[in-house]
Amino acid sequence: MPATSSATVFIQQSTLLLQARPTTTKISYSYNTNKETKRGTLAVKTFDPVSGSCFRLRTRKVNELNRILRALSGLAQVQSGLSSGAELLASSTE
């Protein structure tokens, strides 16, 4: 389960995975803070148990955090069948 290189790659790959297998793909995220340094880390994972595909990203950057959280809402719409994901994929490359 190697980590993806950037938020853009993670969003693109997760969107494609959700388009291919919307009913079995799971999105999970966790936020951890270090009490000594008071810095937080967001870890996001998209996993499909049927194909074995897994994409993971860990970041501390606020800009990436905002993009990922915005994309997660779009990915949830893809997962629930409310959106095809084409507009999300187009906006993630900007």
Measured in Å, how far apart are the chain's first and last C-alpha atoms?
A: 27
What is the spatial distance between Cα 28 and Cα 84, in angstroms, rounded to a whole number? Answer: 20
pLDDT band at 17; cut points 50, 70, 90: confident
Which of residues 47 and 75 earns the better pLDDT score?
A: 47
Does this model's pTM top 0.85? My answer is: no
pLDDT average, residue stretch 51-75: 85
Cβ(56)–Cβ(45) under 8 Å? yes
